A = this chain, B = another copy of it.
Amino acid sequence: MELRILGCHSATPKPGEYPTSQALLVKNRWLVIDAGEAMQIQLRRYGVKFSRIGHIFISHLHGDHVYGLFGFLSTLRLLNRQTDMHLYGPLPLKELLDTVFRHTQVELTFPLHFHPVTGNEFKRIADDSQFEVFAFPLKHRIETHGFLIREKPAPRKLNMDAISKYPEIGIWAYHNLKAGKDFVTEDGRIIPNEELTLPPPRPRSYAYCSDTAYYPAIVPYIEGADVLYHEATFSEADRELAEMTLHSTARQAAEIARMANVGKLIIGHFSSRYKDPSVLLREAREVFPDTELAYEGKILIF
C-alpha cells in the first residue's frame, strides 16, 4: 500500500495548509479518503492520476472533509470520464451533491454509484477483487465513520524449485496451486500444496479515524493495522477544547494506537493554533514511539 497525504489540517488553514484528504494506493487502485477543499488541486500536485481513482470514502459531512468533492467530480465530467465511480459516505451526501450539481449545472458523464454509510456496527461497505473496506462509528459532533482498508490475500507463490522435481506438474496446474489446492497425480497420489508453494505476502491494512473524540470502542476494529491515521487536533494542554469539540489530543491518539497494537501511527488534523505541530508529535511518542506527523505531500509506503 502507499498513502499520500493531500491535506491534513483542520478547518481554518494557514497559508500552504489544506483540509483533510488522502489517497491510498492498494495494488493498482487509488482510493480517496475524505475530500477537503482543493483536493483535486492536491491530487494533481502529488501525481495521483484521476483516471485511476474509482472509490471515494467520506467520513462525515463537515466542510473540511467534503467541500473538495464538488470540484473534483465536476472536473471528471469535463474530462469526459466514462468509467464507474463509487462514493461512500453519510446518507445526506446524496442530496447535498444533487443540490450542488443541479444549481451549478453539472451533469456527470459517468456512473456515480452512491453507497450510504450508516449504522453503529463494524461492517463491510466495499468488496473489490483487490481490497475490502470496513466502516465503523466514530464519536464526533455529527455522524462520522472510520474506515479500515484491507488488501485481499494475494495468491500463494509457486515454489519453482519444488515444482521442478515433479515433471508431471504442467503449467496448466499453476492456477490451482496458487489458489492453495493440492496436486493430484494421475495415479491418485496427493502432493500437498504447502510443498509446492510459498505463502503470499501478508495482506496490508490501513485504518483511518478522523474526526473523533477519544473512543476506545474502536480498538477491536483496527487491531493490528499496519498503519493507523488518527486525528490529533489538540495537545493535552488544550484537552478541555478537545472534549468540548469532540476531537482528540495527540496523547489520546497514541493511546488508541497502543491499545490497538498497530504498526505505525500517523497523526493529523492539527488545529491552526499550533505553529509547530512537533509539540503534538512529542506528546504522542511518549505513549506510542512509532508515531509520525502528517504533512501535505507525505508519502508512506507499507
Partner-B contacts on A (CB < 8 A): 11-19, 37-38, 40-41, 44-45, 61-64, 66-68, 70-71, 74-75, 78-79, 92-93, 95-96, 99-100, 103-106, 141-142
Contact = CB atoms under 8 A, between A and B. Distances in A.
A46 to B, nearest CB: 9
Contact of A38 (B38, B79, B106, B142): B38
A11 B106 CA distance: 12
A104 B16 contact: no
Contacts of A100: 63, 96, 99-100
A241 to B, nearest CB: 13
Stoichiometry (number of copies): 2
A92 B95 CA distance: 16
Contacts of A64: 71, 74
B78 A11 contact: yes
Contact of A74 (B11, B45, B70, B104): B11
B61 A71 contact: no
A95 B103 contact: yes
Given A92-B103, A141-B105, A41 B63 contact: no
Contact of A63 (B13, B16, B66, B106): B106
A58 to B, nearest CB: 11
